[in-house]
Amino acid sequence: MPDQLFGAMRQSIIDGAPDTATELAQQALANGVDPLEAVNQGFAAGITFAGDQFGCGQMFLPDLLASAEAMKAAMNVLEPEMLKHGSQREALGKVVLGTAKGDIHDIGKNLVATILSASGFQIFDLGTSVTPEQFVAKAKEVDADIVGVSALLTTTMAGQKAVIEALDRDGLRPRIKAIIGGAAVTSKWAAEIGADGYSRNAIDAVELAKNLMGKVTNKGTVPA
């Protein structure tokens, strides 16, 4: 039953069907499915597929936006439950998120924010088209552990590099880890600009953040 439900969830996002996505999210909660599992194995798989299709030209922007609306509808149902679960745990770390300057696409970034929050991270979301100075100021203000910069377009990827350079100039790294993501981003680009990590989707971002926090908190000790 769960596998069938997860498959339907994935398809509802690919189809860009918000009403169906809402019904499936409600059904999952009614059946006692863990909301984070519903996102990870169902809806997020759909938006990741849609993003990949968009990236290789098999899906166009109107379709991607429809998928995003369906994702938003599902998250409206699941997010309150996810955050309730996440708030019961001590925060794993503080993460400042935003899209690079000039980039107003926030589908992936919003999904990363929600799933990181539900997984126990404290999130400070700066929104879209965020300048390097804004990232630095917020990271200092909240004593961030991780700064995450998203870019959907190749033309705005340079903004990710600018943020990392700004963090370096202020002497905030390596204490603060810098991670990047977005449809146009590759592991090669991450290495080129000196990022601490790169994730191709929201699920990977959670694992990446947890691994980086392990490096921050262990500081040479043997992990438990």
Domain regions of the chain by residue span: 2-87, 94-218
Give pLDDT tens digits for 55-96.
Answer: 678 888 788 778 888 888 998 898 888 777 655 555 689 999
Q: Tell me what pLDDT residue 216 has.
A: 56
Q: Is 188 exposed, middle or buried (0-12, 13-18, 19+ CB in 10 A)?
A: exposed
Q: pLDDT means per 10 residues in the chain (224 residues)?
A: 88 95 96 88 85 79 83 87 64 91 86 78 93 97 96 90 97 95 89 93 83 64 33
CATH 3.20.20.80, applies to 2-87: no
The residue to which tokens 């995003």 are assigned: 68
Q: Tell me what pLDDT residue 72 has.
A: 83
Q: Tell me what pLDDT residue 90 has.
A: 56
* Class of domain 94-218 as given by CATH: alpha beta
What pTM, to 2 d.p., does this model score? Answer: 0.68
